Amino acid sequence: RQVTDETSEFDFLFDGVTYTIEDTSAVEVSDVRGGYTRRFSDTSTLNLSAVATRSDNLKTDSREGRVAFNADYRRPVTGQIDFTAGTRVAYIDYKDNDTQDEIIGVDVGLSCQLLSDLDLSGKIGHNRRNSDVGSREYAENWVLVSLEYQIR
């Protein structure tokens, strides 16, 4: 259990001057996590994880619950290149307006170790959010390219 804060910021322009209004409220977050990793004889790995989270806004009495499941697979293609694939599903329950959302995501990619402390990776993916509230629904395709350097 953790107490954190949630901040909303609003900017508006009046007579050529921009004003910022900030509203901060305390949020109590409780979560339970679990996972399982399986290493296969071909050095590929499968990671499964689940998390259940509940967030209570102490100022507004709103409550949000989330249950999420992730599965990630990594398999070496060569000595320096790995194939990756992942999927995730999240169910979100908003108690203040009694609505539910479902988020589904999939991705595939390659990761390459260029040097002992330098990695290059790329992924493509698709996310979809289904909701009881039409304005929260979306579907998106995305591309990620990253260069990661580990300072030792």
* Residue 12: per-residue pLDDT: 77
Lowest pLDDT segment from 22-26, 38-42, 92-96: 22-26
pLDDT at 37: 97
Question: Is-contact 104 137, C-beta < 8 A?
Answer: no
Give the pLDDT of residue 29. 83
Q: State the pLDDT at residue 116.
A: 86
Judge whether residue 83 has pLDDT over 80: yes
Place of tokens 């002992």: 116
Measured CA to CA in angstroms, residue 1 lies from 28, 29, 54, 63, 68 at distances of 7, 6, 9, 15, 18
Residue in the structure block whose two tokens are 């954190």: 4
pLDDT at 22 over 80: no
pLDDT of residue 107: 98
Judge whether residue 131 has pLDDT over 80.
Answer: yes
Share above pLDDT 70 across residues of the chain, in percent, rounded to a whole number: 93
Q: Residues 86, 110: contact at Cβ < 8 Å?
A: no
φ/ψ of residue 59, rounded to 5: -85, -40
pLDDT digits (tens, 9 = 90+) for 29-54: 888 999 999 999 999 999 999 999 98
Report which residue type is found at 75.
R
